[in-house]
Amino acid sequence: MVAVMFMSVALIAMLCVLAYTLAVYALPFMLGLSAAQFAYQTGSGFIGAGLVGVVAGAAAFGILALLFDTLRPPILRLLVALVFAAPAAVAGYALVHGVTKESVPSEIWRQIFCIIGGGFVGVSALLRLAGGMGQPAR
């Protein structure tokens, strides 16, 4: 019985890590998912649609990272970072709201937790994109 409880806690922790990772990469993930749905609906099949989705998601992340690395004006770099981090922050907010919907009875505290969680995910997405932000653009 105790082993089952530990396994369920470990499974919940793994699902939270997976959801957090998907929230950080919300924009590339959603672009890849949309491309996969389009490919599947146009008759590419399940495997072809999966390949199209993976390539589209990786290309979206690669293009955003390349733009962030190559643009010199700070305002353009900030715009690229916001394009990447804003959907991640919204996904983080939704993730925390889904987790706390039944466990936090106060609406005010639920909103506070959701805003803090969305902020953490948005900043994490920004840091994943920036990587070496202290280094000058090439």
Please give the pLDDT value at position 134.
47
The DSSP 8-state label assigned to residue 136 in this structure reads P
104 vs 38 pLDDT, higher one: 38
Residue 137 — left, alpha, or beta (φ > 0 → left; ψ -120 to 50 → alpha)? beta
90 SS3 class: helix
d(CA 31, CA 39): 12
pTM: 0.71
Does residue 106 surpass a pLDDT of 70?
yes
Report the amino acid identity of residue 130. Answer: A
Q: What is the mean pLDDT of the chain?
A: 86
- Decide if 32 contacts 53 (C-beta within 8 A): yes
CA quadruple 115, 120, 125, 127: dihedral positive or negative?
A: positive
Rounded to 5, what percent of the chain is helix, strand, coil? Answer: 85, 0, 15
Q: What confidence category does residue 137 fall into, taking pLDDT thresholds of 50, 70 and 90?
A: very low
Tell me the residue length of the chain.
Answer: 138
The residue whose two tokens read 């146009």 is 42
Please give the pLDDT value at position 131.
66
Please give the pLDDT value at position 82.
86
**pLDDT tens digit sequence for 65-75:** 888 889 888 88
**pLDDT tens digit sequence for 43-69:** 999 999 999 999 999 999 899 888 888
d(CA 120, CA 24): 10
> Could you tell me the two tokens for 3?
């082993």
pLDDT more than 90, % of the chain: 29
Beta strands (DSSP E) in the chain are none
> Could you tell me the two tokens for 130?
């920036």
Highest mean pLDDT among 4-8, 109-113, 131-135: 109-113
